[in-house]
Amino acid sequence: MPHWVRKVFPDATLRMSCVPRDTVDGRRRTRAMAGTLVGTHSALLGRGVSQEQVPTPPALHGYLTHVRLSAPGAPAARHCLSIYLPPEATGGRRLKVLGAMRSHLASSLTAHPNDWFLVGGDFNGVTAAADRSSGALTAADARLVALLEEFRLVSVFSRCTDPRPHSHFSTGSSARLDDFLCKHDDPLLAALALGPQTAGPDVAG
């Protein structure tokens, strides 16, 4: 794991997934092209919360990190999934990763029907038309929305009354390409509806 990552999150136990350097588009690279991570604060682990990293399918190395957190006496565990979806311009690579992501979500939700899931990251796509300054979904957006509808996942901010702030800006346009998702009946929805949203840094870079 890069040293700078540990410096940014000094109080967390980190789990990370990276694209192997020599398996991206058949070309050898000097550094990983994509990576995701999940960090668990040491204070949680100090209270007896256990952290288990779920194995990443080979097709999702660098695009998914999946951690399951369990607390003593808690009726359900919390799964934290960090996701990176390649941009639409990558064409077949985005579709391949999206397909593998669908398979992983299906198997995980089926295996743990009573657990809670938090899925966050850079989707390089939006989940609502208002998340683009154009007010319209692209074809890639529509495929992402269909995936979320299939598993009944929604943005954790979906019950907020404030407009969702955009976090990605380019010449003449803006969008919200990063998000956090959960099940439609997750207790997080009610908790996060109580306060206003703030735009964080553009994780898409």
Residues 6+ apart with CB under 8 A from 185: none
| Helical packing angle, 92-111 and 139-151, nearest 10° | 10
For 78-104, write each residue's pLDDT tens digit.
Answer: 999 999 999 887 778 899 999 999 999
- The position carrying tokens 């598993």 is 151
CA distance 87 to 121: 13
What's the pLDDT at 15? 93
For 10-64, write each residue's pLDDT tens digit.
Answer: 899 999 998 766 555 555 555 556 789 999 999 989 889 999 999 999 999 999 9
Q: Which amino acid is it at 184?
A: H
What's the pLDDT at 202? 45
Q: Residue 187 pLDDT more than 50?
A: yes
Structure-model confidence comparison of residues 140 and 27, the more confident one: 140
Q: Residue 121 pLDDT more than 70?
A: yes
CA distance 21 to 195: 42
The answer to whether the CB of 151 falls within 8 A of the CB of 106 is: yes
Q: Residue 108 pLDDT more than 50?
A: yes
Q: Which of 83-87, 190-194, 199-203 has the lowest mean pLDDT?
A: 199-203
Mean pLDDT across the chain? 85
What percent of the chain has a predicted confidence (pLDDT) above 70? Answer: 86
What's the pLDDT at 22? 57
Whole-number Cα distances in Å, 79 to 51, 90, 100, 158 = 10, 29, 18, 20
Q: Residue 180 pLDDT more than 80?
A: yes
CA distance 24 to 139: 24
* pLDDT tier for residue 190 given thresholds of 50, 70 and 90: confident
Three-class SS of residue 189?
helix
Q: Residue 203 pLDDT more than 50?
A: no
Residues 6+ apart with CB under 8 A from 11: 41, 42, 43
CA distance 187 to 195: 15
- DSSP string across 91-143: THHHHHHHHHHHHHHHHHHHH-TTSEEEEEEE-SS-SSGGGBTTS---HHHHH
